[in-house]
């Protein structure tokens, strides 16, 4: 226990590699590498399926089309990027990693198109999806199509694709990382008359709190994490775009570019829309006749109507109570809650296209 206290008091475990060094973890692995190790221990083929789910659940997800059918998978990634699960309008790293993987492992899918409309979000989730796109690219063409906005984490996940299409007016780039941790101590003390006491095992235990300011050591800890993630971001862009780190650094640093300018500086390959990207994917895969398979799947009419009604009712009640400006503030605070204390590869503001 004395050793564990020393680790905690000295912030010894700042990076994943430190956990290996101090024997607090056994290895650094992406999800696919963990599954490869499971297959090895099960003594099954490297590409064999692992039966994590029941046959009934699995049967709902498998492709039932005849063998030999040529499909182009189109994955719609729209909204902020979060850790965990997501759906239309919310890019969950785990959910979208699985969409890309499913398309990668399906032999009837000859190419993958990822349509991105996102100002970014969680750096970790962006990295998880980048990894899966990099794996997919080794087996079949992967083309990315940018919508109105594909910046920061939205660009991170895309930079390893075979080719990137954007509209001339697309907002992209913003290669940078930041973290936010509000200090609300004076607000609680002076405005609400609330103070906080705590008991902890070491000085830095639970330091990601809004009730007191960071110490200089804690600020440096946070800064080191941001710097490391930013360096990894630039390395992956440099590798994917076949440019030097020095060049990527010169166009990174959070700078935002239009789609047209992004083509000139090498962040985007061509100006074009989703149809152009699909056509390029089919041509690269040699698929003359193909069908589109969309992820996430389109909801049924009843499900869609119920979802829209529920969402509109909730939004209408909040707008009526708080007014339009109050609702915008509420939405901003709600989004802020999801990334407090986490490294963010995202635009530091909201973009409204009208």
**Which residues are catalytic, by number?**
152
Residue 40: count of CB within 10 angstroms of its CB: 10
Report yes or no: 80 and 118 within 8 Å, Cβ to Cβ: yes
Residue whose tokens read 């190790």: 37
Q: Which two tokens stand for residue 134?
A: 């990099």
Q: Which distant-in-sequence residues (6+ apart) come within 8 Å of 76 by Cβ?
A: 88, 115, 294, 295, 296
Collapsed DSSP state (helix, strand, coil) of residue 4: helix
Q: Which two tokens stand for residue 219?
A: 């600020």
Cα angle value 12/29/101 (rounded, 5°): 145
CA distance 314 to 26: 46
Strand 71-78 to 109-118 pairing: parallel
Element (H, E) at 155: helix 153-156
CA distance 256 to 155: 11
CA distance 326 to 219: 32
What are the two backbone dihedrals, phi and then psi, of residue 113, each rounded to the nearest 5 degrees?
A: -120, 125
Q: Which two tokens stand for residue 311?
A: 């969402």
Report yes or no: 253 and 195 within 8 Å, Cβ to Cβ: no
Q: Which two tokens stand for residue 345?
A: 């590869």
Q: Which two tokens stand for residue 280?
A: 């390029």
CA distance 37 to 46: 9
The closest alpha carbon to 126, from 155, 164, 146, belongs to 155
């Amino acid at each position: 226990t004395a050793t564990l206290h020393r680790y905690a008091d000295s912030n010894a475990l700042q990076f994943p590699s430190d956990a290996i060094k101090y024997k607090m973890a056994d290895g650094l692995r992406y999800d696919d590498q963990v599954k490869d190790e499971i297959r090895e221990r099960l003594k099954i083929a490297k590409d064999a399926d692992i039966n994590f789910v029941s046959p009934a659940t699995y049967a709902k997800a498998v492709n039932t089309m005849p063998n030999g059918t040529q499909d182009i998978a189109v994955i719609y990634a729209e909204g902020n990027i979060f850790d965990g699960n997501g759906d239309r309008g919310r890019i969950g790293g785990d959910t979208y990693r699985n969409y890309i993987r499913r398309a990668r492992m399906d032999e009837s899918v000859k190419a993958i198109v990822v349509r991105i409309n996102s100002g970014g979000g969680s750096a970790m989730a962006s990295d998880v999806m980048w990894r899966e796109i990099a794996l997919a690219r080794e087996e079949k063409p992967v083309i990315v199509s940018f919508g109105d906005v594909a910046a920061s984490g939205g660009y991170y996940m895309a930079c390893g694709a075979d080719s990137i299409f954007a509209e001339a007016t697309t907002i992209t780039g913003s290669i940078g990382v930041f973290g936010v941790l509000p200090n609300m101590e004076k607000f609680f003390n002076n405005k609400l008359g609330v103070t906080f006491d705590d008991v902890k095992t070491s000085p830095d235990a639970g330091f990601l709190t809004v009730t007191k300011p960071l110490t200089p050591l804690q600020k440096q800890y946070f800064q080191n994490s941001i710097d490391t993630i930013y360096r990894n971001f630039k390395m992956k862009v440099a590798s994917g775009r076949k440019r030097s780190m020095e060049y990527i650094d010169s166009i990174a640093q959070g700078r935002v570019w239009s789609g047209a300018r992004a083509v000139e500086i090498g962040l985007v390959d061509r100006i074009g829309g989703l149809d152009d990207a699909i056509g390029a994917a089919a041509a690269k895969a040699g698929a003359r006749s193909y069908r589109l398979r969309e992820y996430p799947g389109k909801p049924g009419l009843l499900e869609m109507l119920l979802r829209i009604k529920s969402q509109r009712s909730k939004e209408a009640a909040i707008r009526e109570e708080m007014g339009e400006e109050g609702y915008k503030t509420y939405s901003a605070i709600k989004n802020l809650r999801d990334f407090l204390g986490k490294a963010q590869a995202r635009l530091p503001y909201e973009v409204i296209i009208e």
